Amino acid sequence: MPPTVTHRRFCPLVRLALGLFLVLAPTVASAKPDQEAQRLFTLGNRLLDAGDVDGAVAAYEAAAATGWTSGALEHNRGLAELERGRTADAVLHLRRAARLLPGEAAVRQSLDAALARAGLAAPPEGAAHRLARTAAGPLGVGGLLAGALLLGLAAVWAARRGGLRRPRVLVPGGLALAVWLLAALAWQASAPRGVVLLPTALRAAPAEGAAAGAVLPAGRGVRLGRRVGAWQAARLPDGTEGWLPVRAVEDV
């Protein structure tokens, strides 16, 4: 058999092997950082159990530096930060753990303990609270007015069509109101959050000379908005809005 025939026979196999290598190589490469992160995480746990809190935090920081994301890592790092008295950092990492491990009782208890240490009340939970807070703001008022307008238009249309004997004409308005409620809950739940790392006054504008409002304590949770230079827009749970220095707040 001529060599050219053999070459043609194996070319598809070579291409297949090369394709598999290109697909699997990133997976194999990405496994190494995860393995290193797991090793550092285990080392941090051992140091924490041995009472070496600073060493444990250093190991957890190194594990996070690999790009590894883990609710257990954030939880244990938060406990270590709480142990060495850095309450705001503890709240930050425990809030991250709560985001990564929603509904985990141990994480919730640890977060409550950190907030109590910081002199802050535990934030309420549940869709009912988010809905009530959203409905009390401009978005809630606007949504309710829009729903009422749609229901009114449906009622007028029904009256012109022969009265309100057919209740199904109110369905579009009801559906629009339900969609608004779901959208409001989704928006509220997905709004980015942050934690204040040091006591900082909330400014009325993104400038040092702007009027200062309440001083936010370290560990206070806020909703984050846009950034303007070295300033971060923030919103408190009661609806108060203002600006904080970027250095004073960290994303959850």
pLDDT in tens, 25-43: 454 444 466 899 999 999 9
197, pLDDT greater than 90: yes
Q: What is the pLDDT of residue 28?
A: 41
What lies within 8 Å, CB to CB, of 19 at 6+ separation is none
What's the pTM? 0.64
pLDDT of residue 121: 73
Reply yes or no on whether the pLDDT at 161 is more than 90. no
Are 113 and 81 contacting, i.e. CB atoms less than 8 angstroms apart? no
pLDDT at position 230: 94
More confident call, 110 vs 252:
110
> Looking at residue 209, what is its pLDDT?
86
> Where does the pLDDT of residue 141 fall: very low under 50, low under 70, confident under 90, or very high at 90 and above?
low
Class of the CATH domain delimited by 193-251: mainly beta
Residue 109, pLDDT above cutoff 50: yes
Name the pLDDT band for 178 (thresholds 50, 70, 90).
Answer: low
Arithmetic mean of pLDDT, 236-252: 90
pLDDT at 48 over 80: yes
User: What separation in angstroms does the CA of 142 have from each of 53, 59, 223, 238, 243?
Assistant: 50, 49, 20, 18, 25
Local confidence band at 249 (pLDDT 50, 70, 90 cut-offs) = very high
- Check residue 173 and give left, alpha or beta (phi > 0: left; psi -120 to 50: alpha): alpha
Assign 188 a pLDDT band (cuts: 50, 70, 90).
low
Give me the residue spans of the domains in the chain: 13-117, 127-190, 193-251
SS3 of the chain: CCHHHHHHHHHHHHHHHHHHHHHHHHHHHHHHHHHHHHHHHHHHHHHHHCCCHHHHHHHHHHHHHCCCCCHHHHHHHHHHHHHCCCHHHHHHHHHHHHHHCCCCHHHHHHHHHHHHHCCCCCCCCCHHHHHHHHHCCHHHHHHHHHHHHHHHHHHHHHHHCCCCCCHHHHHHHHHHHHHHHHHHHHHHHHCCEEEECCCEEEECCCCCCCCEEEEECCCCEEEEEEEECCEEEEECCCCCEEEEEHHHEEEC
* Residue predicted with more confidence, 156 or 205: 205
Q: Which residues pair with 211 in a beta bridge?
A: none
* Class of CATH domain 13-117: mainly alpha
pLDDT of residue 70: 93
